A = this chain, B = another copy of it.
């Protein structure tokens, strides 16, 4: 028999990783819920009619399609079958696909349940998505997305609260050195017009978006390759320099007095200050472009300094969540997506996972024989009743083997019960990190280990 293996690009999350991931998503969930966001979960499978055409042609190719059950060849026309063309055939034999992101299922949910949803609707969703991308370091075919969106209001309070939430999450995780970059599509559009690139905004922004990676010279080169005159690049970088100055927003307002975006960002920063945010992390970045044409208002991106994981959060305001489903109501919204895998890597690299997260069990109760095992069963149950995660070693065996197990499990304490301890109603509590040992009554033991 072949050794079993995992499908390419997928992962098991074992106990240590899971404990850390649960800690991370727990922090995020708590902040989301404190801001009034409500959980939503949608099925892994969606009808292909829901998914196709939403992610561009490349996205359609990356969907995992599910073979129809039963005789899936039954309804394939003979002429189609005779072509032996995988792409054509798949339209007849696979009606469902795996979720590619969380935004399309969210939009589908809103369209299907519109009349039951009180607006504005704040939802968060933390679920895996699947993409048939070429697997590589840090890129998986199954990975989690973690999205929060408010739809049904244009209020800039939503943009403000998204920044507050990001700061809250990162603060709770112990991250200090990071930047929440904020820009606005309308500012970029005004800049495009002022540089003489109106109508070619997208080309301009795709090049600009790489500034971080390839620098000014690289962007200039790319612009020239895309057919922009040198004068466009010159004017563009004038704007970038103005916007990057300490008082960038106000300075730009002089050059672009018509820009709704500049006005909106000024309101967002004013609300942030009012809400007690000291703007240590949140900052205007006129060069932030973000590729998606989907965004129409504020855009966000978060980077952690000194950690090579790239951007860890991204989002922005969009005009019309449900347009793709033919809905006439224009539902504007603003959303943020936390890159859980990357934040996990950053926390690991910076050693920021709290040590108690690694050891789910606090104490292993050890014994010497049948009698002390039976006493141990009573002790372990008292510990659990008091809220202490604990185990009794299940087999009667050498103490050494029991302690070995505790060490491999990273359990910090062993409560050893020998016949002497039992006769006095005590345990010998061993700190497996320091080697220290003390004899305690079971009451004192519980008191000491109780959370």
A→B interface (CB under 8 Å): 1-7, 10-15, 18-19, 22, 33-36, 38-47, 49-50, 61-62, 64-67, 69-74, 81, 84-86, 89-90, 93-96, 98, 108-109, 111-113, 116, 118-120, 122-123, 128, 130, 132, 141-142, 150, 153-155, 157-158, 160, 164, 168, 271, 274-276, 325-326, 360-361, 374, 377-378, 381, 384, 387-392, 394-395, 405, 408-409
Give the complex CA separation of A221 and B130 in angstroms: 51
Give the complex CA separation of A162 and B391 in angstroms: 13
Residue pair A34, B130 in contact (C-beta under 8 Å): no
Q: 13 A-B residue contacts at CB 8 Å?
A: A3-B111, A5-B112, A7-B43, A7-B47, A13-B39, A36-B360, A44-B128, A45-B142, A64-B67, A120-B395, A120-B405, A274-B377, A276-B381
In whole Å, how far is A207's beta carbon from the nearest beta carbon of chain B? 31
CB < 8 Å neighbour of A13 from B40, B85, B389? B40
Q: A86 with B71: in contact, given A4-B325, A38-B18, A142-B44 (CB under 8 Å)?
A: yes
Give the complex CA separation of A429 and B130 in angstroms: 46
Contacts of A18 in B (CB 8 A): 38-41
Give the complex CA separation of A36 and B89 in angstroms: 50
Residue pair A73, B86 in contact (C-beta under 8 Å): yes
Contacts of A39 in B (CB 8 A): 13, 15, 18-19, 22
Contacts of A132 in B (CB 8 A): 69
Contacts of A112 in B (CB 8 A): 3-6, 12
Residue pair A14, B394 in contact (C-beta under 8 Å): no
Give the complex CA separation of A157 and B74 in angstroms: 54
Give the complex CA separation of A47 and B141 in angstroms: 14
In whole Å, how far is A278's beta carbon from the nearest beta carbon of chain B? 13
CB < 8 Å neighbour of A38 from B33, B66, B360? B360
Residue pair B377, A7 in contact (C-beta under 8 Å): no
In whole Å, how far is A121's beta carbon from the nearest beta carbon of chain B? 9
| Of listed A39, A95, A109, residue having the most chain B CB within 10 A | A39
Residue pair A43, B409 in contact (C-beta under 8 Å): no
Q: A118 with B13: in contact, given A1-B325, A381-B275, A395-B155 (CB under 8 Å)?
A: no
Number of copies of this kind of chain in the complex: 2
Residue pair B40, A6 in contact (C-beta under 8 Å): no
Residue pair B5, A19 in contact (C-beta under 8 Å): no
CB < 8 Å neighbour of A389 from B36, B66, B409? B36
In whole Å, how far is A73's beta carbon from the nearest beta carbon of chain B? 5
Residue pair A45, B10 in contact (C-beta under 8 Å): yes
Contacts of A409 in B (CB 8 A): 118
Known: A7-B45, A44-B98. 5 other contacts (CB 8 A): A4-B49, A11-B43, A45-B130, A274-B374, A276-B381
Give the complex CA separation of A101 and B66 in angstroms: 18
Residue pair A34, B384 in contact (C-beta under 8 Å): yes
Q: Closest residue to A43 on the B side, CB-wise? A: B10
Residue pair A1, B326 in contact (C-beta under 8 Å): yes
Give the complex CA separation of A7 and B36 in angstroms: 30
Q: Closest residue to A404 on the B side, CB-wise? A: B118
Q: Closest residue to A394 on the B side, CB-wise? A: B155
Contacts of A378 in B (CB 8 A): 274-276
Residue pair A387, B43 in contact (C-beta under 8 Å): no
Residue pair B10, A394 in contact (C-beta under 8 Å): no
Contacts of A387 in B (CB 8 A): 34
In whole Å, how far is A135's beta carbon from the nearest beta carbon of chain B? 12
Q: Closest residue to A85 on the B side, CB-wise? A: B73
Contacts of A85 in B (CB 8 A): 73
Q: A275 with B155: in contact, given A39-B19, A84-B73, A142-B44 (CB under 8 Å)?
A: no
CB < 8 Å neighbour of A360 from B33, B377, B391? B33
